[in-house]
Amino acid sequence: MFDTVKLKVRPIYIDSDTMAELNAKSFTSLSKETGALSSSYTIYDEQIPFIKYIESSQTLHVQVSIPKFLYGDNVTMLTEADISFFFERLQNRIEQLFHIHIPHDEWTISRCDVCWNFQVGKDVGEYVKWFSKQKLAYKDTITYNQDQTVAFKNKSSGIQFYDKHKQVTRVKEASDLIERSKGILRLEVNPSDNDIKKYAPERKAVELLTKPFFDYMTDKALRQMEYPSEASEISLSWLMENKESISKIETMLGFQMLQRMFDESTLRQIYKSSTFANRKNMAKKMTIPKGNCLSPLAINS
């Protein structure tokens, strides 16, 4: 459901002696506005990889992968029960480190990675290839890692699909994790500030780390994806039944072939905008027999 989150809470007072005990790395700067000195502290912890405390604003920042924090890897998918478990473990760890108690509802979110593992077997590469040809509104389409990852990004948000097995193999994870990741097409959605604020105006973590927000973001992402079909073994009987539409069938077969050869941005340069929109609309309505085309991704949770 979720992977990396960046949380913060304020005002929280942590004295310098506690920071010294934790061997915190400190940095002191001079405020241009007030002329006062202010210190920030970075703590290195085995369980929470990023912790920062800003003395002047009494703000505590943490960044952590929830599944790694709970289970040691981010191939394991979280359940709703795991979210409650996460808040409890986070609270306990913060108490151990800083001797302070932070209620769950005081944490706010500045980053929240929504994710899901689709088990698609040998078709992982085919999905990435299909999606890499698409162009989403207001986002750039980018491929990484020798076409093992396709991302749709702008400055504020992103959607990406990638081959999880190849990713964990590349970073040399444990052999059992590599085995578990076979056939996984990973979806990761990075919500924009607008998405977060629209759903939870105060950015409360307890409101955002929920199944409804997960559903909201994944539905929004998956609705934008298209799944071009391929004609396969069109029978003479089917053609005879649809001979009045033979011109449309020829047009559609040619368009599908071009879709397989070129990405969407290239096709938009070839076609007039009205013609391209017409072809896309026709592709959704045509009933040409489908072969072994990719099934639309769906989350059953």
Quick: pLDDT tens for 16-72.
Answer: 899 999 999 988 877 666 677 788 999 999 999 999 999 889 999 999 999 999 999
Asked if residues 199 and 207 have their Cβ atoms less than 8 Å apart, the reply is: yes
Model confidence band, residue 248 (pLDDT cutoffs 50, 70, 90) = confident
Q: What is the pLDDT of residue 261?
A: 81
More confident residue, 104 or 229: 104
Model confidence band, residue 290 (pLDDT cutoffs 50, 70, 90) = low
Is 289 found in the same domain as 235?
yes
Residue 247, pLDDT above cutoff 60 = yes
Q: What is the pLDDT of residue 85?
A: 96
Is 165 found in the same domain as 129?
yes
Write out the residue range of the structural domain in which residue 262 sits.
228-301
257-263: average pLDDT: 82
Of 106, 132, 150, which marks where a domain is finished?
106
Rounded Cα–Cα distance for residues 85 and 1 (Å)? 14
Is 160 found in the same domain as 244?
no
Indicate the number of domains in the chain. Answer: 3
**Burial annotation 114-141 (CB, 10 A radius, 16+ → b, else e):** bbbbbebeebbeebbebbbbbebeebeb
Tokens 């076409």: give the residue: 147
Is 170 found in the same domain as 124?
yes
Of 225, 252, 274, which marks where a domain is finished?
225
Which residues lie below 8 Å from residue 241, measured CB to CB, with a gap of 6+? none
Is 255 found in the same domain as 179?
no
Is 194 found in the same domain as 148?
yes
Model confidence band, residue 229 (pLDDT cutoffs 50, 70, 90) = low
Of 208, 225, 242, which marks where a domain is finished?
225
Is 243 found in the same domain as 169?
no
